[in-house]
Amino acid sequence: MGPRFTVIAILTVIVLIAYDKYYPFNESSNNSSNTGQAGVTIKDSKSEGKALIGGDFVLVDQNGKEFSSDKLNGKTSLIYFGFTNCPMICPTALNNMSLVMNELGEDSVNYTPVFITTDPERDTAESLKSYMSSFHLSFVGLTGSEEQLKVAYDDYKVYAKKVELDGEDGYDMNHSSIIYVMNENGEYVSHFNHETAPEKILAKLRSLK
């Protein structure tokens, strides 16, 4: 395990802990709840509480067209933030999401997997289109200006930081590694990390129906 993997893994744990402490559901004591991945409270279907995760954004897709979060409405979405130069963690997450989409079979039309870059300097629409071709055909790859992306990062409580490297290696990106599950109305349902087995994600998705 290299230092880059260790740093991102630690950041992921920190972010997941922060969700419990700083972004709880606003549920009354009369509402029942379940405990989901990494201890995050998942609201019961009868609960009126909502997680403080998610929101509106306008970005650019891998075809160079404007893409607003409204286009995700009507389907369950799986959203992951990362960057195309990521050597292992991001490809693992996207591959697991692809496996889930494959296992959903005909029902996959009711889901939208989304990859949002944390590295807009290198991840142009063109480079995203090439990168996304390695994963499920339904994937939406999104980039945009730093200002546009910051809105999405803030909405989803994403950590993303550029780290300069010595020599001619340029820079790396440290970021949280979380797969968000959002319902048909763009509301947070659950989350997983890149190490979560596809079958566990699949079971959760099917339990929501």
Q: What was the pLDDT predicted at 50?
A: 64
Q: Exposed e or buried b for every residue in 83-115, given b needs 16+ CB within 10 A?
A: bbebeebbbbbbebbbbbbeebeeebeebbbbb
Tokens of 52: 């403080």
Domains and CATH numbers, the chain: 3-21+33-207 (3.40.30.10)
The answer, yes or no, to whether residue 97 has pLDDT greater than 50, is: yes
CB 192 within 8 A of CB 205: no
State mean pLDDT over 134-162: 96
Percent of the chain with pLDDT over 70: 75
The CB-side HSE value for 157 (13 A sphere, CA atoms) comes to: 22
Dist. CA 9–CA 123, nearest whole Å: 22
Q: What is the mean pLDDT of the chain?
A: 82
pLDDT at 52: 87
49: its two tokens: 């509480």
pLDDT band at 56 (very low <50, low <70, confident <90, very high): very high
Model confidence at 83: pLDDT above 60: yes
187 in Cβ contact with 156 (< 8 Å): no
